Structure 1
Amino acid sequence: MNHAAAHAGHHGADHPSHHEPDTASQAEILDLDAEVLAEHLASITAWLPLATTPRRIVDLGCGTGAGTFALLARFPEAEVTAVDASADHLGRLRSRAEELGTADRVRTVQADLDAQWPDLGRPELIWASASMHHMADPDRALRKTHDLLAPGGLFAVVELAGFPRFLPADAPAERPGLEERCHAALDRHEAGHMPHRGADWGPKLTAAGFTVEAERTITVDIDGSRSAAVGRYALGSMKRLRAGAAHALTAEDLAALDHLLDDDSPLSILRRTDLAVRTERGVWAARRA
């Protein structure tokens, strides 16, 4: 579950595709996403309708490991194979696993899942958070996932509706509705690049041979006062939002947005006390017969 990945389908997050920040910036957002949304991740792993406790798990598009570490915590006897296209993200994941004392339970695999799939064993659980909609051919990816999964195993797809919202509707005061205009501009920009974002994955999973056993929508509404990370998460996310929406914004909107994104400005988003994290995640649990 995250919002700032680097390339189609292999990092667990959304991003403005033609205005790439550096890899370190992407990784920081992924880490903040994991920190801010940790409770929601834990609730999803606890909700999964598992027939047996999995011992072998694959995390497709793992990013820096938000899902990997949530799964390791939920299933203390399991081993997780974490798959991503970014060597940097996988390196950060391995370092984090060392810090947590779970390195012996994590295997990392660098792979472009739009190309050749590596040998990932026969997992009982496959997890894909905010990665399926990035795939160049998601139907192919779902079929490959189906064939990879052990018979009777479960595939958990977690997808997001889009970037989270952080500001009240009337903020900033001089440009009310600014955040929504940014989202609308980004949605138009991304429509041709990620047509499967926000899709109903149930029919696609069924077409790939899965039986969809359960689905749910997770509503996220986190008051900024609950976590010191929310301000940094909002800042990084909205910088990425600006990168994708700038072409469609007025000069006045851009100026107001830049004040929010300027750490030294008295109007900086880091100085606000009215931030929140508002978004939704769809979750599908599908079984291979």
Structure 2
Amino acid sequence: MTHTHDHQGHHHGHGHGHGTDAGTDEALAEILDLDAEVLRPLQTEMIDHVHTLAAGTPIRRVLDVGSGTGTGTLALLQRFPDAEAIALDSSVEMLRRLEAKAHDLGLAGRVRTVAADLDTTWPSVGTVDLAWASASLHHMADPARVLAAMFTALRPGGLLAVVELDSFPRFLPHDLGIGRPGLEERCQAAVTAANTAAMPMFGADWTPLLRQAGFTVELSRHLTADIPAPIPAAARRYAETILRRTRARLTDHLSPEDLTTLDTLLDNTTPAGIVHRDDLTVHATRFLWVARRP
């Protein structure tokens, strides 16, 4: 994150990445795009908060730190019609996808992409009015250094929006599990433990670091999104994609019974496969901080 958003904690630097390959980028891009489609109301709510706090101050230049496929970049440009955006990401392939989307939406002239690994270099971006970092900062080797760089890039009075998560979306009914309910809870616990070990700021409170960087924190919110059963087709694809990545990641961390249950869910040739189930839901959470450079 730097491309980010790895819903399995691999290389989500929306800035998400450190040495990614095309296959990894393609899989991650699919998750990022599905995440944006399925959880669009959540993103809209977050950007509405930013828009409210920006009232009275013109937003002409936006910086997306760890832009990934550009879901945040493009949503911000649509919400701030007078703005141009700079999208930073370590993945050239992600940035190509962003440029293609911008072209399709007629926004290509308002977006500049910059490939940069923010763990090593802060690129020359000039002064911006709004910085956006969604699910990317916890991937940084030195988040405090990146926050200091964003503070410097922002004009006085400019805003920084930090979006983070402490867990991944949930889809399954609690009673799933051979002989023991709570399969998804066990998967979540294993993934969260691995993420926290690899990325200490995963799920952390960013308020202290924002203040240490010189920001004034003006808003902190815990936001949730719930989609009841039956969920739409995009949400099913979202669930299947995330659960497949979970299954691959947790092969050595779950019991044989739990792995069998996951394999059954991911076998869409059987009635128990995800595409045939009518009991899936979506529950997702995000944390939003909006801070201002004094």
TM-score norm. by structure 2 comes to 0.91
Matched, 1:281 2:286: yes
Query: Are residues 36 and 199 of structure 1, via their aligned partners in 2, closer, same or farther at CA, if it must alter by over 3 Å?
Result: same
Partners in 2 of 1:101 and 1:167 — Cα distance?
38
Superposed counterparts of 1:131-170, under 5 Å: 131-170=136-175
**Paired residue total:** 285
Q: Is the 8 A contact 2:12 2:135 kept in 1?
A: no
Matched, 1:9 2:16: no
SS at match of 1:239: helix
Percent of residue pairs identical: 49
Q: Is the 8 A contact 2:5 2:11 kept in 1?
A: no
Q: Structure 1: which 4+ aligned runs deviate by more than 6 Å? A: none
Partners in 1 of 2:13 and 2:187 — Cα distance?
23
Judge which range, 224-233 or 197-206, deviates more.
224-233
The amino acid of 2:87's aligned partner reads A
Matched, 1:85 2:90: yes
Query: Are residues 36 and 2 of structure 1, via their aligned partners in 2, closer, same or farther at CA, if it must alter by over 3 Å?
Result: farther
Judge which range, 269-278 or 149-158, deviates more.
269-278
Root-mean-square deviation (CA), in Å? 2.2
Partners in 1 of 2:240 and 2:47 — Cα distance?
28
Runs of at least 5 residues in structure 2 that lack an aligned partner in the other structure: none
SS at match of 1:247: coil
SS at match of 1:167: coil
Partners in 2 of 1:84 and 1:12 — Cα distance?
7
Q: Per-residue deviation at 1:7?
A: 2.8
Match of 1:95 in 2: 100
Query: Are residues 70 and 8 of structure 1, via their aligned partners in 2, closer, same or farther at CA, if it must alter by over 3 Å?
Result: closer
Which residue among 204, 207, 212 is the counterpart of 1:202?
207
Which residue among 40, 44, 47 is the counterpart of 1:45?
47
Q: Is the 8 A contact 2:73 2:85 kept in 1?
A: yes
Matched, 1:105 2:110: yes
Partners in 2 of 1:8 and 1:169 — Cα distance?
28
The amino acid of 1:23's aligned partner reads D
The amino acid of 1:110's aligned partner reads A
SS at match of 1:153: strand
Query: Are residues 229 and 2 of structure 1, via their aligned partners in 2, closer, same or farther at CA, if it must alter by over 3 Å?
Result: farther
Partners in 1 of 2:23 and 2:262 — Cα distance?
17
Partners in 1 of 2:120 and 2:16 — Cα distance?
18
The amino acid of 1:35's aligned partner reads E
Query: Are residues 245 and 21 of structure 1, via their aligned partners in 2, closer, same or farther at CA, if it must alter by over 3 Å?
Result: farther
Instruction: Give CA deviations for 1:250-281 in whole Å, capped at 9, x if unaligned.
Output: 11111111111223232211211122221211
Which residue among 7, 30, 33 is the counterpart of 1:31?
33
Match of 2:129 in 1: 124
Q: Per-residue deviation at 1:208?
A: 0.6
Which residue among 162, 175, 188 is the counterpart of 2:193?
188
